[in-house]
Amino acid sequence: MKPSVYLGIDLGGTSIKMGLVDQLGNILHTLEGPTPAGYHQVLAVFSQMAEQILQKSHYAWDDIIGVGVGVPAFLDQQRGIVIEAVNLGWDQVPLKEDLEKLWTVPIIVENDANAAALGEMWNGAGKGASHLICLTLGTGIGGGVIIHGDIYHGANGSAGEVGHITVKHQGGRRCNCGRMGCLETEASATAIVLDALAQMKGMSTGPLKEEYDRTGTLTAKSVVQLAQQGDTICKEIMTKVGSVLGNTLAQMCYLLNPEIIVIGGGVALAGQILFDPLIQAFNHAILPRIAENTSIVPAKLGNQAGLTGAAWLVHRNKVITMRNKNKETTV
């Protein structure tokens, strides 16, 4: 008999990632597919993908201890209800209940940034740490706060919503949230592109202009590449982004004094060109005593952090259940 495993799902606005994860956090098999429009369509795709991954991996439902799902949403984690998922167009859907009907195994749902944080803690850059702040730098900026080895939800599940911390009190860009100068408008992939487009105005030549003329667009990835190739303007953009992040992380450390800060998402792949100014700004803004036990590291699991963390949620509940059973039988 095979050792039992977990099924982790990372539901994104554009793709669904699903994986079988063993009890040490290692991914055994994965599958990825596009996210369809509509709630019931997503459930149908979940179902097909799960059957496919089981077949491919020669596992059966009896081997699955439970399913964890990371959702880009504001949710009632206890009841498993998605309260609002803007990118999916979902509003008040009983995801946990519907999946339990579908699969008859325990289901746990969690915010996607929180799931990614848990994945990095379990088997990624935060392995071994109990107190973490994790940032995901993508189109927006998501965050997860881990305290005593578990995700921290706060009063209504909003803990870790760091993308909306105000970092530019004057002259900041307008955020999707309606406010100005959020971290997300100043240090995300979107911010990098907007910075580059602003710099390009009135530019008649240079690598940035050439890239734009050649491809008809600019992406954060191309700005990062040009910066890595030595383009001064793109380097300045990355320095600004790194500085904003480093300074903001320092402010968070005064409040939370984490052991480790894990930075993931597409923008984090920029490497040194982002991390050098980030660490410099962080060290400038923090008291050495506060940060003596804090390290800042890039994420390790890439786009598999979310499904790994989703699987961890099931793992945690299994461990708690076993611990309680042991107490009952051994005392």
Interface residues with a copy of itself (CB under 8 A) are: 74, 131, 133, 143, 145, 147-148, 152-162, 164-166, 169, 177, 179, 247, 250-259, 285, 287, 289-290, 292-294, 327-328, 331
For residue 267, count other CB atoms closer than 10 A to its CB: 28
Smallest separation, CB 285 to a copy of itself (Å): 6
Smallest separation, CB 331 to a copy of itself (Å): 5
Smallest separation, CB 154 to a copy of itself (Å): 3
- Retrieve residue 308's tokens: 């790994």
How far apart are the C-alpha atoms of 327 and 309, rounded to whole Å? 27
Smallest separation, CB 324 to a copy of itself (Å): 10
For residue 169, count other CB atoms closer than 10 A to its CB: 8
Where would I find the H helices in the chain? Answer: 39-57, 95-103, 112-123, 183-187, 189-200, 207-215, 220-228, 232-256, 272-285, 288-291, 305-330
Instruction: Please compute Rg for the chain using Cα positions.
Output: 21
Of residues 181 and 266, the one with the C-beta less far from a copy of itself: 181
Smallest separation, CB 208 to a copy of itself (Å): 28
Of residues 76 and 100, the one with the C-beta less far from a copy of itself: 76
Smallest separation, CB 201 to a copy of itself (Å): 26
Residues 6+ apart with CB under 8 A from 194: 173
Of residues 39 and 74, the one with the C-beta less far from a copy of itself: 74
Of residues 44 and 287, the one with the C-beta less far from a copy of itself: 287
How far apart are the C-alpha atoms of 97 and 313, rounded to whole Å? 16
Query: If DSSP codes are grouped into helix, strand and coil, which group holds residue 107?
Result: strand
DSSP letters spanning 34-94 = EPPSSHHHHHHHHHHHHHHHHHHHT--GGGEEEEEEEESSEEETTTTEEEEETTTTEEEE-
Of residues 41 and 293, the one with the C-beta less far from a copy of itself: 293
Of residues 169 and 214, the one with the C-beta less far from a copy of itself: 169
Of residues 230 and 288, the one with the C-beta less far from a copy of itself: 288
User: One-letter amino acid identity for 274?
Assistant: L
Smallest separation, CB 131 to a copy of itself (Å): 6
